[in-house]
Amino acid sequence: MTIRQKLTLYWAAVLAAILVVAACSVFVIFRGQQWGALDAALIEEADTSASAIARADAGAAALVVQRLSQERDLGPAKRVRLIAGDAVVADYGSPQADLPATDGSAAHRGVVDGSRRVYRFAVMPLLLGNQPAILEDGVDASAVRNSVARLGAILLVLTPLLLAASVAGGYWMAGRSLAPIGSLADDLARIDPRELDRRLSAGTAQDEVARLAASINALLDRLQAASATERRFLSDAAHELRTPLTVLRTGLEIALGRERGADELREALRAALRDAIALCATADELLAMAALSEEAFGRRAAVNIGDLVGEAVDAVEPLVQAKNLTMTADCASTLIVEGNPEHLRRLIVNLLDNAIKFTPESGRVAIALEERENAALLRVTDSGPGIAPGDLPFIFERFFRGAGHNRAGSGLGLSLCREIVRLHHGQISARNKPEGGCEVVVTLPLRGAHSARFIPRT
Amino acid sequence: MGEPAILLVEDETRLADNLRRGLAEEGFAVRWAASAETARQELGRSTCDLMVLDLRLPGKDGLDFLREMRQGGNTVPVLILTARGSVQERVAGLDCGADDYLVKPFAFAELLARIRALMRRKSAPPSAVLKTGDLELDTITRRVRRAGHTLALSPKETILLELLMRNAGQVVTRAMIAEVAWGGAYNEFTNLIEVFVNRLRQKIDYAGSASLITTVRGAGYTLRAG
């Protein structure tokens, strides 16, 4: 059911209840008033007459009754009777009057309808001499009955009509109020994800619909920014691949450009293979970056960082040996971090890889793991030339490559590390050690802790 | 006269190695600078006949370096290498004083052809009438004659022939043809250029004898020089 229909239904129900109650109240009150007035007048008249009759003798009593039956101020016709015991002492008035049904028992003072509900009688007990008697003072109450019935009929017709009209009006009003939402929905449907420039017009009113439009526009802003970031990343990534591809292509073209000996050709092929492998590594990192930026965290598990460090050290063993480096690993006992094992492994491997890359032959690379204030603290140091001070603030940016001779790699390694650390609610920082070389520090909150505060270096 | 000297300004070591080797094998004397500062020093030390400049350099930006070079009065022909190939980038590069523009990844043959074309342009004085063998093209009246007979070429065919004649004896690549005839973009997988060249051949060749225009597989086309 639409909101419009629901709103109208509730409105109709509430209004119906109100109208019915109102109509009933009006009817009951009016009826009460009409009868009340008549009854009070009848009683008063009967009362007065009864007192007069009680003081008079038989002849005078009959006269009172006769005169009473000729009164016309309470109605167009009357019938008055004086009954003592079983005998009717006096009976004057309209013969068509419907008399009240007699019950024979002691009557009491009150008002009663005639047997056909036309006349209304005031019944007044009194003492005639010593005998108990009743005075019945009746009047044709058709006027009152008719006016009450008429009101009842009017209310009976008017109430449904009013209800119908109000419901129709309510339905129309609901439609008008909800129309802006409908047009908002239409506008939204027209927005193409490729052209997120469009925004909803919030209208001039400061109402709920304007608030909704403003919220949606804010969401579109965020979407547009995210989409722009993504596109920039894609274009940066494509550029990153262009130079390595050129190296590969020109190398092969030059090798094939003229007659060459088998050795030369073999060397060219080896070089091409190295370039292709480097390209694969770059592509891997790009994919990892894309996977991370999707915010789909992937598997979440309890990860033993100490184990991962061991695996990473093993993984980079060939690189260490190739440059004749000394690698030291110093890991505390079991430290459990909640996170994605693949990402965390890549983090540690990237850090080690970076350190190895920038350390000259026969240098030293060290990785240390300790617990500090509810977090795992990972420290990777090398004995290389360190990072140029001008580059230090930018080394974690995507595709950043500082000035330097060794520009191999995609430039994504450290920015990947930063993304992974961020996803695990940790911190990463780098500095040049005073004694030379570079140190990168990563803190990751242990399982159960919240985010790691930035641990100041000692 | 010695080998023509090329100054290669490129920071990516492996690419620089490849290009140096390839260009040296083609008869160029290649000097290498890995940054704009080094390039400036090299230029101060001795002249070169052409500079191949990669725009993405550490430190000073390639375009800034080029602009300063031109403002300083250096008119060495410059060929830009870059990963960015949008139209605005091309225009910006040419505005800064570049003579040609190659987008990575490129074919080595393309680089070679363009280097040679630039050097040719520099050494040959711009003449109004081009002559190659018995072909004659008047660049002002746009009239083409072979052995005295006027040939009926369309304006685009004349442009193509002019390009071939200016680079007679050297390879002219499909990309160069596309740039000159259609202002740039062309789909490598259509044979539009082939069709174009063949139409030209039909008009300038003598029936029965070999075409003046040779197809160089994998590279482009060459107009016979003699």
What's the pLDDT score for residue A229?
A: 74
Cβ-contact B171, B113 below 8 angstroms: yes
Nearest CA in chain A to B23: A254
pLDDT band (50, 70, 90) for residue B6? very high
Among candidate residues A133, A136, A129, A135, the one with its CA nearest the CA of residue A57: A129
Quick one: average pLDDT of A71-94? 88
Distance CA B196, CA B107 (A): 22
Contact B59 A407 (CB under 8 A): no
What's the pLDDT score for residue B221?
A: 92
Among candidate residues A72, A303, A235, A112, the one with its CA nearest the CA of residue B83: A235
Final residue belonging to a domain, choices B82, B104, B123: B123
CB proximity under 8 Å: A 392-421 to B: 401-405, 407
Among candidates B56, B58, B106 on the partner chain, residue whose Cβ is nearest the Cβ of A403: B58
Cβ-contact A323, A353 below 8 angstroms: no
A243 contacts chain B (CB < 8 A): yes
What's the pLDDT score for residue A54?
A: 84
Residues in Cβ contact with B32 at an 8 Å cutoff, skipping those fewer than 6 apart: B7, B8, B10, B16, B20
Final residue belonging to a domain, choices B123, B149, B176: B123
A453 contacts chain B (CB < 8 A): no
Among candidate residues A72, A93, A95, the one with its CA nearest the CA of residue A135: A93
Contact B108 A254 (CB under 8 A): yes
Chain A residues lying within 8 Å of B107, measured CB to CB: 249-250, 253
Q: pTM to 2 decimals?
A: 0.54
Is the domain of B12 the same as that of B118? Answer: yes
Is the domain of B97 the same as that of B53? Answer: yes
Which ipTM score applies to this complex?
A: 0.70
Contact B58 A251 (CB under 8 A): no
Distance CA B127, CA B120 (A): 13
**Chain segment B11-33, per-residue pLDDT in tens:** 888 889 999 999 999 999 999 99
A258 contacts chain B (CB < 8 A): yes
Q: How many residues does chain A have?
A: 458
Is a pLDDT exceeding 50 seen at residue A406? no
- Tell me how close the Cα of B9 comes to any Cα of chain A, in angstroms: 14
The DSSP 8-state label assigned to residue A442 in this structure reads: E
Among candidates B21, B104, B108 on the partner chain, residue whose Cβ is nearest the Cβ of A243: B104
Quick one: average pLDDT of B126-132? 82
Residues in Cβ contact with A67 at an 8 Å cutoff, skipping those fewer than 6 apart: none
Chain B residues lying within 8 Å of A248, measured CB to CB: 105
**Chain segment A308-333, per-residue pLDDT in tens:** 898 888 888 888 888 888 898 888 77
Is the domain of B11 the same as that of B86? Answer: yes
Is the domain of B157 the same as that of B213? Answer: yes
Is a pLDDT exceeding 90 seen at residue A22? yes
Distance CA B82, CA A238 (A): 13
Quick one: average pLDDT of B5-11? 91
Q: The domain containing residue B114 runs over which residues?
A: 5-123
Mean pLDDT is lowest, of A156-160, A188-192, B48-52, for A188-192
- Tell me how close the Cα of A266 comes to any Cα of chain B, in angstroms: 15
Contact A243 B34 (CB under 8 A): no
Residue A377, helix vs strand vs coil:
strand
What's the pLDDT score for residue B62?
A: 83
Of A448 and A335, the one with more pLDDT: A335
Contact A242 B12 (CB under 8 A): no
Chain B residues lying within 8 Å of A251, measured CB to CB: 14, 18
pLDDT band (50, 70, 90) for residue A402? low
Is the domain of B134 the same as that of B119? Answer: no
Is the domain of B166 the same as that of B81? Answer: no
- Tell me how close the Cα of A322 comes to any Cα of chain B, in angstroms: 20
What's the pLDDT score for residue A442?
A: 93
Is a pLDDT exceeding 90 seen at residue B8? yes
Q: What percent of chain B has pLDDT over 90?
A: 22
Among candidates B11, B109, B111 on the partner chain, residue whose Cβ is nearest the Cβ of A407: B11
Is the domain of B100 the same as that of B145? Answer: no
What's the pLDDT score for residue A455?
A: 47
What's the pLDDT score for residue A198?
A: 75
Phi-psi region of A404 (alpha: psi -120 to 50; beta: other; left: phi over 0): left
Among candidate residues B36, B89, B51, B92, the one with its CA nearest the CA of residue A239: B89
Is the domain of B28 the same as that of B80? Answer: yes
Quick one: average pLDDT of B142-167? 89
Chain B residues lying within 8 Å of A232, measured CB to CB: none
Average pLDDT over chain B reads 86
What tokens appear for B69 in the block? 């070079």
Distance CA A290, CA A231 (A): 11
What tokens appear for B174 in the block? 């499909």
Residue B132, helix vs strand vs coil:
strand
Distance CA A403, CA A382 (A): 19
Quick one: average pLDDT of A367-372? 89
Is the domain of B70 the same as that of B149? Answer: no
Is a pLDDT exceeding 80 seen at residue B125? no
Half-sphere exposure of B66 (CA within 13 A, CB side): 27
Nearest CA in chain A to B59: A403
Distance CA A208, CA A63 (A): 81
Nearest CA in chain A to B57: A403
Interface size A-B, in CB pairs within 8 Å, comes to 64
The DSSP 8-state label assigned to residue B128 in this structure reads: S
What tokens appear for A303 in the block? 């990860």
Is the domain of B192 the same as that of B87? Answer: no
What's the pLDDT score for residue A404?
A: 46
What tokens appear for A302 in the block? 């309890």
What tokens appear for B154 in the block? 């369309």
pLDDT band (50, 70, 90) for residue A32? very high
How many domains does chain B contain in total? 2
Distance CA A131, CA A86 (A): 11
Distance CA A137, CA B218 (A): 131
Is the domain of B10 the same as that of B106? Answer: yes
What's the pLDDT score for residue A154?
A: 94
Final residue belonging to a domain, choices B99, B123, B147: B123
Among candidates A250, A253, A401 on the partner chain, residue whose Cβ is nearest the Cβ of B15: A250
**Chain segment A253-289, per-residue pLDDT in tens:** 899 888 889 998 999 999 899 889 888 887 887 777 7
Q: How many residues does chain B have?
A: 226
- Tell me how close the Cα of B111 comes to any Cα of chain A, in angstroms: 10
Cβ-contact A356, A320 below 8 angstroms: yes
What's the pLDDT score for residue A405?
A: 40
Of A281 and A430, the one with more pLDDT: A430
What's the pLDDT score for residue A458?
A: 44
What's the pLDDT score for residue B148?
A: 82
Of B13 and A300, the one with more pLDDT: B13
What's the pLDDT score for residue A320?
A: 86
Distance CA B15, CA A143 (A): 116
Is the domain of B9 the same as that of B113? Answer: yes
Most B-contacting residue of A243, A256, A405, A410 (CB-CB within 10 A), to test interface: A243
Distance CA B191, CA B201 (A): 15
**Chain segment B56-114, per-residue pLDDT in tens:** 776 677 888 898 889 888 889 999 988 776 777 778 888 888 999 888 888 898 999 99
Chain A residues lying within 8 Å of B34, measured CB to CB: 405
Chain B residues lying within 8 Å of A405, measured CB to CB: 13, 34
CATH number of the domain where residue B80 is located:
3.40.50.2300
State phi, psi for A34 to the nearest 5 degrees: -60, -55
Of A252 and B210, the one with more pLDDT: A252
CATH number of the domain where residue B178 is located:
1.10.10.10
Of A349 and A235, the one with more pLDDT: A349
Chain A residues lying within 8 Å of B56, measured CB to CB: 243
